[in-house]
Structure 1
Amino acid sequence: MRRIMVLGAGYAGLHAVKQLVAQNPNAEIMLVNRDPYHYDTARLHEVAVGRTDPSEISFNLRETVNPGVTVVIDEVTRIDHDIRAVELRRNGLVFYDYLINALGGASSTPDVPGATGNVLPLITLNDAMSARSHIERVLTDYHLSQNPYDLRIAVCGDGFSAVAFMAALLYQLPGLAKQFGVPAERMEVHCFASNPKPLYRFDPKLTEWIMEYLGSRGVVFHANSRVTHVEPGAVFVGNQTFHANTIVWATGIRGSQVVPVSGYAQKFSRVIVRDDLSVVEADGGWPREFVIGDVSAVPNPQNGRVYPASAQLAIQQADCAAANVLSLMQGGRTFRFVFRPYGTILPLGPHSGVAQLEDSRGNYTRLKGAKVRLLINRMNKYFRDSIV
C-alpha cells in the first residue's frame, strides 16, 4: 500500500490530513509530529500572559485525529528526497510515496547574537508556558530585589505577535500586580520596533489607532530600533543599552531547521515552492512532494513578495496540496494554488481588536474596537473546525 506522509500537526498539516481522510484514498496516511498535541498558535499570547490555560488551546492528536491515520510522535531531523525517506530522531528512516511537508516555523533568535537563551520566544506552547512562568517568577523576585528592571518588560518585534502579546499583557497587568503585590504604576512595557512603527505594512489608519490604543495604556515605543545584541537582562540597539529582566522575542519566524539540512531551495529557511506548492528543486527532482504552512515561501503573483505566514494561508494551501497528491495518485495533473485572503484580524486583549476585511473585488472594510471580538471568536471557531 502506498504511503502519504504529512509532517507537522499545525493548521496546515492537520487540515491536509482531514482532507485526505475525507477522500478515502487507497493509501496509508501517516502524520508525524514532534509533540503529541496540537496547539492554537494564534492564541499563544493568551497563555504567555496567564489569561488562558494551555488546555484551552491544545488537544491530544491521537484522541482527535481519525483513527485510520497512523500518528507517529517523533522529531524530523532530515529529509532524503532521492530515496523518498524522512529521518526521525527515534525511529530512523521512514519511507513515503507522497510527502506533504508542513513542519512549521522556528524562532528567529539565532539571527541575533546572544538572543538564544536570553529571550522568551513565542513560537510553541512550551514557549508560551515558559514566558508565563518567567513573568511570574520575576514579579515574585521583586519583593526581595526591589530591582526596577524586574518590573520592566521589553518586547522585541513590531508584527502581529508582538502587538497581540502587548495588548493581552496590558489587560493582565493590574491583576498580576495585585496577585504578586507589586506596584502597578511602576510596571513598564517597552516595544522595540525595527521599523518606524509596529504593523508598518498594515492599514495606516488602523496602525495609528493601535499605536494610540497601546500608547494610552502605557506602552513605550522605540521606533527604528533594531536589536543588534542581547545579554542577560539587556538588549542593545546600536551603542545603546536597555535593561529589562523580561525580554520577549516576537520578531517573526524562520522555517523549520530541517530545511537547510535537507537540500531545499530556501529563503530564511522557508522552502521556495512552485505555483502548485511543489518543490523548486535545489538538488534533484522531487515531483511527489508539496510544502505548505509556515515552512513554505509562496510568492504573491501580483508583486512577487512572499505571503506572510498565517492560518488562513496554511488552510488554503492544505486544500491544494491534498488535492494535488490525490490527483497524482490517480495519474492526473496538479492544480495551481490561488490564495484568496479574507483579510486580517488582530486581537487587542479580550474585549477589543482591529480588522481589515477584503472582499472578492479587493475592497477593504476597516473595523476596530469591541465589535471585532465577535469576528475573532468566529475566526477561532473556523480554525478549530478546519482541523478536527
Structure 2
Amino acid sequence: MAGNTEVVVVGGGYAGVMAANRLTRRDDVTVTLINPRPLFVERPRLHQRMVGSHDAVVEYREVLSARVRLVVGSVTRIDTAGRGVALAADGTIDYDYLIYAVGSGSADRRVPGAAEFAYPVATFEEVERLRPVLAATPMTDPVTVVGAGTTGIETAAELAEPGRAVTLVCGGVLGPYLHPRARRSVARRLAGLGVRVLDGPHAKVTAVTPGAVLLGDGRELPSRVTVWTAGFGVPDLAARSGLSTDALGRLLTDETLTCVDDVRTVAAGDAAAPSGLPLRMSAQAAFHTGAHAADTVLSRIAGERPRPISLGFSGQCISLGRRAGIFQFAHEDDTARGFHLGGRAGAKLKEFAGKHGRKLLVDEARKPGSHSWPKDDKRRRRLAHRGDAPATAEPAA
C-alpha cells in the first residue's frame, strides 16, 4: 500500500496496547488507540484494588509507545464500508485497517435480584462501585462470592485474608479449569483462610435479595454484600455494527484473526472468536493475539499473506491472598497438567506474572516486534481444519 496507512485500535487493554505498540514497526503507519478511560487497567490485579493492596492502574505513557495517539472515548459503531468509527461524543475517526480489541466484562446477571443486589467485579468501574460498600461493611458481616472460576477464587481469598466472613458459592465445581490435585490445594488454602466453600450441583444461586443469597436446594445464606463473578460477556459493538459474532458476541474471524465479513478488520483478545474456536479469556491470550493481530495487519500492508494463529498455552496463575498462590501448568492446548506450584512459591510466580505482563507492553513499545510467544497447538490446528466446535473453556480474568 503506497503512502501512509491509518490503523485504529479499538480497546486499550492488554491486547489493544500490545497491538498498537507492535504496529509502530513501520514508519509509514499511523496508529490511533481508542479507549473509554484515560488510564491503563491491570485487570488481573482488580481483586487487589478491591481491598486496597494495589492500584491496578498505570498511566498510558508508561506502557504505550509515544508514536501511538490515544483518544479517550467510546466507539458506538464501526462502519466497515466507509472505514470509520463513530464516537459517543460525536465525530468519527477514519481508518485503513481496524483492530477490534474491546475485551470483556461481566456477563448478564439473569438470576432474579442479581442485577439489583449483587456487585460484579470484572471491570475497573465495577470494582470502584464496590470499594466504598466494603469499606462501610463491618468485618464480621457475611460476604458471599458467587462463581468458582479464577476471579471468584481470587476475590474470596482476598476478602477473607484480613478476616472477613466469606462464603464462596461455586454453582458447580471449584476451579473447573484446574486439575483435581490443584483443586484440592486451592480448597485447602481457602479453608485455611476461613472461606466456606459450597460446591456441587445443589450450590446454584436461584435468587439474590438485599440481605441473602438463595440456593437451588432451598438454603438461604445471609449476605451483607454479594459479589458476582459468574461468567464473562463481551461488548455488543460488533453485533451493533452488523458484523458476524458467535453466541457470546465475540467477533468471528479466520485463523489469521481477520474478520469473516471484512478483510480490513482484525480482532484480538477476549472479543475474538477465530474459526469459532475462541481462546480462553485471559491476559495470556490477549498479549499473544494482540501481537498476532498487528502482524496480520502489517502483512497485508506489505502485500504478504498473513500467517494463521499458532499459540500454545503454559498454564494459569491464581492468587490466594497475598501470601499464597497457585500456578496450574497446562498442555499447549490449554488443558491442565497434573502438576502445579502452590503456596508461597505460587504467590511469587503470580506476582512475577503481573509485573512481567506490564514489562511485555513496555518492551514492545521500546522495540516493536520483540514479543514472541509459545506456538504449535496441534489440537487447535486440527479442530480449525475440521471445523469442529470446541468445548466451552472457563472464562478467566
Q: TM-score range by the shorter chain?
A: 0.7 to 0.9
Change (3 A) 1:298 1:248: farther
| 1:144 alignment partner in structure 2 | none
- TM-superposed CA distance for 1:293, in Å, is 0.9
Offset from partner CA, 1:97-134 (integer Å, 9 cap, x none): 10111111121134334322422111222222322211
**Which residue identity lines up with residue 167 of structure 2 in the other structure?**
H
Is 1:16 aligned to 2:19, yes or no? Answer: yes
2:253 maps to 1:253 = no
> AA paired with 2:11?
G
State the match for 2:146 in structure 1. Answer: 156
Read off the aligned partner of 1:111 and give its amino acid letter: R
Q: Residues of 1 paired with 2:108 and 2:286: CA distance?
A: 23
- Alpha-carbon distance in 2 for matches of 1:364, 1:336: 30
Query: How is 1:113-262 mapped onto 2 (pairs within 5 angstroms)?
Result: 113-139=112-138, 151-173=141-163, 187-195=164-172, 197-223=173-199, 224=201, 225-238=203-216, 239-262=218-241
CA distance in 1, matches of 2:184, 2:351: 24
Q: How does 1:346-365 map to 2 (within 5 A)?
A: 346-358=318-330, 365=339
Q: Percent identity?
A: 27
Q: Report the residue type matching 1:274 in the other structure.
A: D
The CA RMSD measured in Å over matched residues stands at 2.2
Query: Does 2:30 align with 1:28?
Result: yes
Mean Cα deviation higher: 226-235 or 369-378: 226-235
Instruction: Decide whether aligned partners of structure 1 residues 94 and 374 sit closer, same or farther in structure 2, where only a CA change above 3 A counts.
Output: same
- 1:271 is aligned, of 251, 273, 281, to 251
Residue 112 of structure 1 aligns to which amino acid in structure 2? Answer: V
Question: Which shifted more, 357-366 or 60-69?
Answer: 357-366
1:181-219 deviation line (CA, Å, top 9, x unaligned): xxxxxx521111121x21123111110111122123322
In 2, the alpha carbon distance for the partners of 1:279 and 1:319 equals 16
Q: Deviations over 1:130-162 (max 9, x none)?
A: 22211111229xxxxxxxxx7010101010001
Distance 1:15 1:154 in 2: 36
3-state secondary structure, aligned to 2:131: helix
Q: CA deviation at 1:171?
A: 1.5
2:81 maps to 82
Q: Deviations over 1:300-344 (max 9, x none)?
A: xxxx86432111111110111111100101111111001121111
Q: Give per-residue Cα distances to partners, 1:233-280, cap 9 Å, x unaligned.
A: 333333544331201011121111323312232221222322111123
* 1:62 Cα deviation from its structure 2 partner: 4.8
State how far apart, in whole Å, the 1-side matches of 2:181 and 2:167 are: 22
TM-score normalized by structure 1?
Answer: 0.85
Name the SS for the 1:29 alignment partner. strand
Please name the residue that 1:289 is paired with. 265
Specify the alignment match of 2:372 in structure 1.
none
> Residues 105 and 255 of structure 1 are in contact (CA less than 8 Å); yes or no, is this contact kept in structure 2?
yes
Unpaired segments ≥5 residues, structure 2: 363-397
SS at match of 1:339: coil
Contact 1:155 1:249 in 2 (8 A): yes
Does the 8 Å contact 1:49/1:172 carry over to 2?
no
TM-score (normalised: structure 2): 0.83
Deviates more, 1:130-139 or 1:4-13: 130-139
Provide the secondary structure at the position in 2 that maps to 1:65: coil
1:260–1:266 contact (8 Å) kept in structure 2: no
> What is residue 312 of structure 1 aligned with on the other side?
284
Q: In the alignment, which residue of structure 2 is the partner of 1:45?
A: 47
How many residue pairs align between the two structures? 353
Conserved 8 A contact 1:154-1:246? yes
SS at match of 1:127: helix
Q: Distance in 1 between matches of 2:169 and 2:43?
A: 22
Is this contact kept in 2: 1:272–1:279, CA < 8 A? yes
Give the C-alpha shift of residue 364 in structure 1. 5.7
The 3 A distance-change label for structure 1 pair 385 and 122 is same
Other structure's SS at 1:314 match: helix
